[in-house]
Structure 1
Amino acid sequence: MSGMAQVKQHAPATLRNREAIAEVLERELPESGLVLEVASGTGEHAVFLAERFAALEWQPSDPDPKALGSILAYREEFERYNLRLPLVIDASAPESWEVNSADAILCINMVHISPWQATEGLFKGAAQVLGKVNAPLVLYGPYLEADVETAPSNTAFDQSLKSRDGRWGLRKVNDLDRVARANGFTRTARHGMPANNLTLVYRRA
């Protein structure tokens, strides 16, 4: 990452959802250990959550050089020692992940703006690095549920995503559950979130 421009980026949704996400994580994350954040984006969640959960080590990651530069820029102003340097991690290529083990994995707003292969790779990678029974994989974002009517805003968002890239779009929770089971995970929690989002928690069986 030498020579990478360290320019802060800003995602407006971060300020709107970070408190609600943190409240759920207080119930779902272990008290100590390493949290791998996949697809950290701007790095704003990583900084906020590393400060909020001071007893945890926070490992941000992203495949995008601009995102990595933004994470580094935010990290330079961070006054604690539990936020690690970001790693280059592509969720769709778990065989190349530079993390051998973690106590939890967090992935915010990636599943719907990436090819389905990234979600499959996320669960496969989680199976590789989450060695402990009940170690959580926590997913946040908008999803489709078979027994819940989809909000009009989510329907419009899904159409917008697919118009930008045919490989994107809101995923069905049933499909996530299926991939989870294939990789040794069970969904243990569903948390309703503001703005028609969900936090889904999967744990090692």
Structure 2
Amino acid sequence: MKRHAPAAARNSQPIAEVLARELPETGTVLEVASGSGQHAVFFARTFPHLDWQPSDVDADALASIDAYASETGLANLRPAAVFDATGPDAPLDRAAAILCINMVHISPWSATEGLFGHAARILPTDGPLILYGPYLEGDVDTTESNLAFDESLKSRDPAWGLRRSEAIDELARSRGFKRTARYAMPANNIILVYRRSAGD
């Protein structure tokens, strides 16, 4: 029932180091597309002052998340929730922060649009939307491995593929957000952080 994602085991600590700088002191973090559940357990343990709400659209992923969670007994890790970012409903009415790891490129663009739409509704003024994954950036040379990964994704589903960070920024602005931070991460990934624009 439990899934094991080697990348999740490798990148949990580097991501947590960024989260320590960006997450609020209290509240509930909505993790979108939690996958295996390894991240959810790691982050709930690392940030005991925050409640962690994992979510996914895939039934097998939801089962894996809860299987990992049941072994930990962490009081701040909630049961996995069904969440399709393209749908009208989010698992929470309010969240202190939203974290989305490796979903944007393995889903249609409408999922990213939906993610920002939900963020605009459920995040407070200072609540961050944090995206992790590989992106194409106009001012940064794209590695051959990321280009090959992009082609592989598109061959599996034409609606998938690495997104341009500029397109994410434009979408963010249309939903009242602006990018406030960018972090270079291992394995040619980056973290992009978005918060509400001043005055919104």
C-alpha distance in 2 between matches for 1:196 and 1:134: 28
How many residues of Structure 1 are paired with residues of Structure 2 in the alignment?
Answer: 197
Q: Take 2:91 and 2:155, find their aligned partners in 1: how far apart are those partners?
A: 33
CA shift for structure 1 position 80: 1.9
State the Cα RMSD in Å.
0.7
Alignment of 1:57-68 (within 5 A): 57-68=51-62
Q: Look up the match of 2:140.
A: 148
Q: Decide which of 45, 50, 58 is 1:51's aligned counterpart.
A: 45
| Residue 129 (structure 1) aligned to one of 122, 134, 138 | 122
**Distance in 1 of aligned mates of 2:69 and 2:102:** 21
Structure 1 letter corresponding to 2:173: R
Partner of 1:35: 29
State how 1:3-42 maps to structure 2 within 5 Å: 7-42=1-36
Query: Which stretches of structure 1, 4 residues or more, deviate above 2 A after TM superposition?
Result: none
Question: Whole-Å Cα distance in 1 between the matches of residues 25 and 72 of structure 2?
Answer: 21
* Aligned residue number for residue 187 of structure 2: 195
Distance 1:153 1:98 in 2: 35
Partners of 1:56 and 1:73 lie apart in 2 by 21
Q: What residue is the counterpart of 2:178 in the other structure?
A: 186
Tell me how far apart the structure 2 counterparts of residues 59 and 103 of structure 1 sit (CA, whole Å): 11
User: Equivalences for 1:109-120 in 2 at 5 Å?
Assistant: 109-120=102-113
Equivalent-residue separation in structure 2 for 1:182 and 1:203 (angstroms): 12
The residue matched to 2:82 in structure 1 has which SS?
coil
Determine helix, strand or coil for the equivalent of 1:91: coil
Match of 1:83 in 2: 77
Residue number in structure 2 paired with 1:74: 68
* Alignment-mate amino acid for residue 143 of structure 1: Y
- Over the matched positions of the two proteins, sequence identity in percent amounts to 61
Deviation at 1:79, TM superposition (A): 2.6
